[in-house]
């Protein structure tokens, strides 16, 4: 008796539509994902192409494949888009990003200024509280315990440190001001003394100085009248000719 052969229906075309069964849909996604990643790897190996794929599952989980890697391929794509010019949506998004960055910088500056003011106010408040504590302790020091005395000692040491810092600041400011003050002019050389050169600081803003030219006379000892020859020599040296 001959066996009846089993007829095969062969390969049938599957209708492409969403699978309603959730379990079957997840199984199909896993198989198709592996298949598309394999195809991407084949085209990269055979053709030397750079490939990047990103797939989200029905549950929202991302899966990616890249050759040589996803990030370099995506960065290359974005850089090329910026070079060739983006769409109006991209331009608007870039402008919005710049505005948000500017607002962020302004808010950051305001925050830093607020922090600085807060620190100043805290220091002032601490100084006021410390002054009040010191004043109270001065009036009640005889009734303070060991712990309170230690706190008072620490407060005085902190106050002393602040006072020393302030003193150094004032002294440093005074030294800097002294360095920037104009220096007085140097005194005239000894060869100009006695020839009408005013001493340093002798000039006044209200009166003008008129130089008076003076000459030292030659003193001849033990003589009542000058010798004629000596007088003639003195006159010739001063520019005057003496006629005997």
- How wide is the angle at C-alpha 49 spanned by C-alphas 45 and 53, nearest 5°? 95
pLDDT in tens, 205-220: 444 444 444 444 444 4
| Statement: residue 88 has pLDDT above 70 | no
More confident residue, 26 or 182: 26
Longest CA span, the chain: 185
pLDDT band at residue 244, thresholds of 50, 70 and 90?
very low
pTM of full prediction above 0.75? no
More confident residue, 144 or 17: 17
Chain-wide mean pLDDT for the chain? Answer: 71
Q: What is the pLDDT of residue 39?
A: 92
pLDDT in tens, 7-44: 556 667 777 888 888 888 888 998 999 999 999 999 98
Q: What is the pLDDT of residue 125?
A: 74
Q: What is the pLDDT of residue 212?
A: 47
Categorise residue 194: left if φ over 0, alpha if ψ from -120 to 50, beta otherwise: left
- 9 three-state secondary structure: coil
Question: Which of 200, 197, 191 lies closest to 211, judged by CA?
Answer: 197
State the Cα–Cα distance between residues 155 and 126, nearest whole angstrom. Answer: 11
pLDDT band at residue 204, thresholds of 50, 70 and 90?
very low
Question: Which of 16, 77, 62, 64 lies closest to 36, judged by CA?
Answer: 64
Across residues 84-100, what is the average pLDDT? 62
State the Cα–Cα distance between residues 134 and 128, nearest whole angstrom. Answer: 10
pLDDT band at residue 181, thresholds of 50, 70 and 90?
low
Q: What is the pLDDT of residue 213?
A: 47
Are 171 and 177 in contact by the 8 Å Cβ rule? The answer is no
Question: Which of 75, 57, 53 lies closest to 65, judged by CA?
Answer: 53
Q: What is the DSSP string of 60-116?
A: S-EEEEEES-HHHHHHHHHHHHHHS---HHHHHHHHHHHHHHHHHHHHHHHHHHHHH
- How wide is the angle at C-alpha 79 spanned by C-alphas 73 and 82, nearest 5°? 145
Are 137 and 152 in contact by the 8 Å Cβ rule? The answer is yes
């Amino acid at each position: 008796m001959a066996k009846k052969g089993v007829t095969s229906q062969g390969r049938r075309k599957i209708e492409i539509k969403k699978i309603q069964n959730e379990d079957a849909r997840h199984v199909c996604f896993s198989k198709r994902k592996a298949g598309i990643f394999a195809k991407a790897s084949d085209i990269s190996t055979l053709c030397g192409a750079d490939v990047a794929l990103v797939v989200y599952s029905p549950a929202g989980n991302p899966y990616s494949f890249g050759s040589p890697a996803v990030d370099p391929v995506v960065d290359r794509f974005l850089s090329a888009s910026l070079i060739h010019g983006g769409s109006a949506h991209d331009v608007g998004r870039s402008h919005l990003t710049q505005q948000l960055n500017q607002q962020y910088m302004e808010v950051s500056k305001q925050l830093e200024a607020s922090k600085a003011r807060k620190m100043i106010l805290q220091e002032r408040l601490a100084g006021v509280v410390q002054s009040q504590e010191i004043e109270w302790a001065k009036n009640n020091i005889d009734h303070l315990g060991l712990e309170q005395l230690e706190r008072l000692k620490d407060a005085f040491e902190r106050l002393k440190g602040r006072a020393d810092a302030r003193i150094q600041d004032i002294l440093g400011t005074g030294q800097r001001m002294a360095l920037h003050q104009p220096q007085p002019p140097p005194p005239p050389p000894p060869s100009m003394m006695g020839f009408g050169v005013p001493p340093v600081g002798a000039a006044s803003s209200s009166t003008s100085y008129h130089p008076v030219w003076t000459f030292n006379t030659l003193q001849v000892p033990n003589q009542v009248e000058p010798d004629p020859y000596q007088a003639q020599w003195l006159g010739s040296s001063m520019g005057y000719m003496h006629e005997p």
